[in-house]
Amino acid sequence: MQAGQGLNALLSAIDSLPDAVLVLDSNDRVSHYNAALVTLYGDAARFLAIGKTFADLISELAVSGQRYRALPESANALRDGKRRRVAVALPDDNNDISGTTQIVRSLALHALAPCDYEELTAEGRWLHVATRQVPQGGHIIIHHDITIWKARELQLEHTVLHDPETGLPNRTLFMDRLAQELRRCARDRDRKFGVVLIDVDRFRIINQDLGPEKASAVLAAVARRLERVGRPSDTVAHLEGDAFGCLIDGVLDERDAYDFARRVNQALGEPIRIDTQDIEIKISITIGIAIGNRLASSGGDLVRDASIALSRAKDDPGTKVAIFDSVMQNTTLTRYRLDTRLRQAIRRKELRLAYQPIVEIETFRVAGFEGLARWGREGVDAVTPTIFVEVAEQSDLIVPLGRLALESAARELTTWIEHNPDIFVTVNISPRQFDEHDLVKDLKNVIEDFSLPRESLHLEITESTVVENPEKVAEALAELKRLGVRICIDDFGTGYSSLHLLQAMPYDVLKIDRSFISTLDSSPRSQIIVETITEMAHRIGMRVVAEGIERHDQLAMIRRAGCDFAQGCLFAPALEAEEAARVAISGRLEVG
């Protein structure tokens, strides 16, 4: 009697829920559903019947086309802590349902394991579907409407993948499409394409003479003209500043490449008219081109080759167009020499960390530091981090360099925490280090060797690192979290910002990229993005750091947005270890 009363109470509670709920018995047949599910199904509710198997139900729904419009390729299910892809085939325009049954059964198989996935209904509503086992046998499937949340996610994704100044794809999206093009080349051995880099000459002077607003109008005009030159299958992107990039389909040889360059020059040859003041600006451009095919090792290499060609074109006062060739390839010898020097420097432990303070906004207390690699003496023999880190990333040196950074940070921390137990140091982790099985072991050894509190060492990874291999990164981060290490996601907002990835990964801290901070005063969109990211991070229990703070007005804006910490030259540049020690022990900085 009590068991029956308990079941009735449970079913009554389900009936009162606003979420749509389907209950299956131990044989995976429909045993109960609430009114919200009937409303959700609409006309398709006629397929609901007590005793019907779940596989039959979703087969009927899919084949009818009344329930599912699509389960997009990006829909992921979580099963046993791992991401699983779920898809359903739909009838085509001729109502051909061949192959549908098998795929729908696959969906049923996945859905009846404990999992979560996203679903797009025929009415255009996004649902988060959660399937859980019932202890007494059977399953319960809960459908929660996330349409508004999903719209915000898609809007945010579009915003961070497109340049607000021109509306064109940004560098992140450009590189993603370049990677897609290389995958096509791997399937089609004869396929070729062009990677074109375009610089607007003397743009800095245009910016100085006319001001940022009119200079932005010039870039927008350049963007529109480049779009008209390109075909629908081409990609035109605004990479940064005065730099544009194009991916050109069907470039078979140098003649095709030069023809495209000619059309670009022709399109940009006419003066650009700005606003109602009848200001006309005559611009010139420089073009560097690399031709990609199945032999290209990576998109980054092709961009590098096009950049080398661009530099060569700048030296040519005539055509100002260059295509990468084997002669230019000799310039890579310099990189190999630098690789050799860097290898020796790491072995001799000549590299060191400088420490940039991370400040708690409300109290101006120095909460911690970010450790930044340095090589050589400033103004004497220093090699910029941008150069040597890139060289390390492209070789096997990034792993020992990362290990050296961990040891350096730990060595300083042992002294600092005696005076300031709450101080921490954040160390950047490269994507290559996640490919090394020794990352967790190295970290454990460092913590034990230096007797560090585990929360004093933070690891910083970029958003792109996660997107490249979410399953592998999630596994590694879970191990690191078990060690007690805190995880920070860096440059958030510059890549494929998936809210579900953000929620699925065990992050403690989120860093807002400096590109949003630098435009806070001029771009309402940047302000909205910073506020949205901060609110979202707080709602899932993360702290927020804004990096690149250089002015007091930026500090005021991120404070209003609710950011917890700030980092940038307004407080201090990266400090040498001796100066950083004084700051760490006192916990204070003088802000100018």
For residue 150, is it within any domain? no
Residue after which a domain boundary falls, among 89, 113, 145: 145
Q: Are residues 186 and 125 in the same domain?
A: no
How far is 147 from 151, CA to CA, in rounded Å?
6
| 3-state helix/strand/coil string of 415-465 | HHHHHCCCCEEEEECCHHHHCCCCHHHHHHHHHHHCCCCHHHEEEEEEHHH
Based on the structure, what is the number of domains in the chain? 3
Among residues 259, 219, 227, the alpha carbon closest in space to that of 246 is found at 227
For residue 488, is it within any domain? yes
Q: Could you read off the pLDDT of 518-527 as tens digits, one per residue? A: 888 888 888 8
26: domain CATH number is: 3.30.450
Which parts of the chain have pLDDT scores under 50? 1, 68-106
Q: What is the pLDDT of residue 375?
A: 92
Domain with 185 in it: 156-330
pTM value is 0.51
Residues 273, 279, 280, 286, CA torsion sign: negative
CB 527 within 8 Å of CB 495: no
Residue after which a domain boundary falls, among 330, 354, 384: 330
Helix (H/G/I), strand (E/B), else coil: 490:
strand
Residue after which a domain boundary falls, among 101, 122, 145: 145
Helices (H) and strands (E) in the chain, counts: 23, 23
Residues 6+ apart with CB under 8 A from 174: 235, 237, 239, 245, 247
For residue 74, is it within any domain? yes
350: domain CATH number is: 3.20.20.450
CB 477 within 8 Å of CB 438: no
For residue 266, is it within any domain? yes
| 3-state helix/strand/coil string of 361-409 | CCCCCEEEEEEEEEECCCCCCCECHHHHHHHHHCCCCHHHHHHHHHHHH
Between β-strands 457-462 and 486-492, what pairing exists: parallel, antiparallel or unpaired?
Answer: parallel
Q: What is the pLDDT of residue 566?
A: 97
Q: Are residues 135 and 170 in the same domain?
A: no
For residue 151, is it within any domain? no
Residue 559 amino acid letter: R
Q: What is the pLDDT of residue 493?
A: 65
How far is 234 from 194, CA to CA, in rounded Å?
10
Residues 6+ apart with CB under 8 A from 262: none
Q: Are residues 320 and 395 in the same domain?
A: no
Q: Are residues 338 and 322 in the same domain?
A: no
Q: Are residues 350 and 244 in the same domain?
A: no
Q: Are residues 315 and 349 in the same domain?
A: no
